[in-house]
């Protein structure tokens, strides 16, 4: 069995800059031989994403705008991808958002609108994207999303994003159930804290990083590359028997009381 991704095309959604977890995933897939398609939220991200994607040696990457809060935009993006490349072999969904003033202090300060926004972007968008992407996966495929421990247990300050991640995790399982018959697997990576532009929005991030170094079994934080390599595993035939699963790439922190 060959575990290379040569001859395969994957969509990576959510690269913001070189510290993004999505960029770590893109590099692992590229190094395994994949051709990459990048989507970005709006024109503000186009240049940084193109500059990163074009820095990858070898086959040309492709780039499309995709605002995941707009169903027509998602339809249009995947219609363009279908027109330009035809078949894709998988997708990495690395998109989330919540109002930063609802990512610290008490959870119950969350507003109805803030709750809806966090769930729309951080949870529903996986389902909205999977609906448009799965018909392009004519040879089967894999979908990976990013989640966090705060969706399984209370992590102070993570608040409404934790509630949205719980919804994302359950959505991932229901999508795995729907898409298994099409040979498409759906899984999540629960990444430990990594210093990204998104992480800056979460209160007490530095405290959690220090706790990882003191209490996680591996006594160190994980890197974008380590998450990227687990995404490669989940999107390759190495994980052909795995779907609906959450793999913790977090130095083992989730097993500690």
Give the binding site for ligand F9T (CB under 6 A): 96-100, 103, 148, 150, 155, 157-158, 161, 193, 198-202, 204-205, 208
Write down the least CB distance from residue 62 to ligand F9T, Å: 25
Which among 40, 134, 148, 233 is annotated as catalytic? 148
Write down the least CB distance from residue 161 to ligand F9T, Å: 5
* Nearer of residues 78 and 205 to ligand F9T, judged by Cβ: 205
Give Dmax (Cα) for the chain.
52
| Nearest-5° Cα angle at 224, 237 to 12 | 55
124 flagged as catalytic = no
158 flagged as catalytic = yes
* Nearer of residues 141 and 150 to ligand F9T, judged by Cβ: 150
Write down the least CB distance from residue 7 to ligand F9T, Å: 32
Which among 40, 134, 158, 232 is annotated as catalytic? 158
Write down the least CB distance from residue 203 to ligand F9T, Å: 6
Cβ count within 10 A of residue 101? 13
Question: What gap in Å lies between CA 229 and CA 149, rounded to an integer?
Answer: 19
Question: What gap in Å lies between CA 192 and CA 247, rounded to an integer?
Answer: 11
The structure tokens listed for 226 are 């380590």
Residues in Cβ contact with 187 at an 8 Å cutoff, skipping those fewer than 6 apart: 142, 143, 144, 145, 172, 176, 234, 239, 242, 243, 244, 245, 246, 247
* Nearer of residues 10 and 253 to ligand F9T, judged by Cβ: 253
* Nearer of residues 201 and 228 to ligand F9T, judged by Cβ: 201
Active-site residues, by number, are 148, 158
């Amino acid at each position: 069995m060959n575990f290379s991704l040569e001859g395969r095309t994957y969509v990576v959604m959510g690269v913001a800059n070189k510290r993004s977890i999505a960029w770590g995933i893109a590099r692992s897939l590229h190094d395994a031989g994949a051709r990459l398609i990048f989507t970005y939220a709006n024109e503000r991200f186009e240049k940084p994403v193109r500059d990163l994607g074009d820095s990858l040696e070898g086959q040309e990457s492709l780039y499309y705008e995709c605002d995941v809060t707009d169903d027509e935009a998602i339809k249009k993006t995947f219609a363009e991808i279908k027109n330009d490349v035809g078949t894709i072999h998988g997708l990495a969904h690395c998109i989330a958002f919540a109002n930063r003033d609802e990512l610290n202090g008490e959870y119950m300060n969350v507003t109805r609108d803030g709750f809806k926004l966090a769930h729309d972007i951080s949870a529903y968008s996986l389902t909205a994207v999977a609906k448009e992407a799965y018909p392009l996966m004519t040879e089967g495929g894999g979908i990976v999303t990013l989640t966090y421990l705060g969706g399984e247990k209370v992590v102070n300050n993570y608040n409404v994003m934790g509630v949205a991640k719980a919804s994302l995790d359950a959505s991932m399982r229901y999508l795995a159930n729907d898409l298994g018959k099409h040979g498409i697997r759906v899984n999540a990576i629960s990444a430990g804290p990594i210093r990204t532009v998104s992480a800056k929005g979460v209160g007490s991030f530095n405290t959690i990083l220090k706790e990882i170094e003191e209490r996680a079994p591996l006594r160190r934080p994980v890197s974008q590359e380590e998450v990227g390599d687990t995404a490669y595993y989940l999107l390759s035939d190495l994980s052909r028997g795995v779907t609906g699963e959450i793999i913790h790439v977090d130095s083992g922190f989730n097993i500690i009381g």
